[in-house]
Chains A and B, each alone.
Chain A
Amino acid sequence: MTHRTVVNCETGQITQVEYTAEEQAAYDAAVAAQASAEAQTESPVVEVTNG
């Protein structure tokens, strides 16, 4: 699971908080969208000429 680090300034306690299922789903969707966008950017350009 993905997590965030939380530092409580009152106590000095440092904890790692795992994403909720909802946050993890949003994270996975964002990563997939980025991968898709990068794949499209990296696709070779095919030049078509007539004649």
Chain B
Amino acid sequence: MAVTIDGSASVTINSGAVLGITSGTAVASTSGTSIDFTSIPSWVKRITVMLNGVSTNGTSNIQVQLGDSGGIETTSYSSVVSRIGSTGASNTTSTAGFLINNAITAAGTFFGVVQITLFDSATNTWSCFGTSNSADAANSGCLFNGSKATSATLDRVRITTANGTDTFDAGSINILYE
């Protein structure tokens, strides 16, 4: 039997997985302390978080956290972000989330891409890497990576700040998953 894929619709396979990349819904990051993308399908093996001109009202670093049916998990991350700019380099680590920025300014807006990939489905272990800019006077760039095992199958991601209290005030965020 011949199978024709004409590109007019997504294609699913027996497990329910959609072949190709699925886009989430872009959301304005102009208020609130966090942005959650929920109901991510269980078959997903790679998630790309994209930040476009994002800003907060404070100087706390931006971070991405993973979650499952039990909620967002805030411990046991292995995360490091390296900031490289004209004023030198600095590293910051965290166990509370994947840091994606370092030493930002409240006035700065930044752009970044975060890729989260399933390392081992048996242990729900995810790897993270990506780049962002700090949009500060030193025009710094940030490289980051990390690892985290969720306690159950991942179904949500959260973008928030390390202190949890700074508020988003500009930009937009979206995800892709596949």
Q: What residues make up the interface of A, taking CB atoms closer than 8 Å to B?
A: 2-12, 14, 16, 27, 30-31, 34
Contacts and interface: CB of A to CB of B under 8 A. Distances in A.
Interface range on chain B (Cβ under 8 Å from partner): 20 to 34
A26 B118 CA distance: 33
A7 B37 contact: yes
B165 A30 contact: yes
A10 B158 CA distance: 16
B10 interface: no
B32 A4 contact: yes
Interface string B43-80: 00000000000000000000000000000000000000
18 contacts: A2-B33, A3-B31, A3-B33, A5-B27, A5-B29, A5-B31, A5-B34, A5-B35, A6-B36, A6-B38, A7-B35, A7-B36, A9-B37, A9-B38, A10-B41, A12-B25, A14-B25, A16-B32
Contacts of A8: 38-39
A27 B164 CA distance: 8
B175 interface: yes
B32 A11 contact: no
A37 B3 CA distance: 65
B154 to A, nearest CB: 12
B159 to A, nearest CB: 9
A40 B167 CA distance: 23
B18 to A, nearest CB: 11
Contacts of A10: 39, 41
Contacts of B175: 9
A49 to B, nearest CB: 35
A27 B40 contact: no
The CB with the most chain B CB atoms within 10 A, among A5, A14, A27, A30, is that of A5
A5 B34 CA distance: 6
Contacts of A7: 24-25, 27, 35-38
Contact of B165 (A5, A9, A11, A34): A34
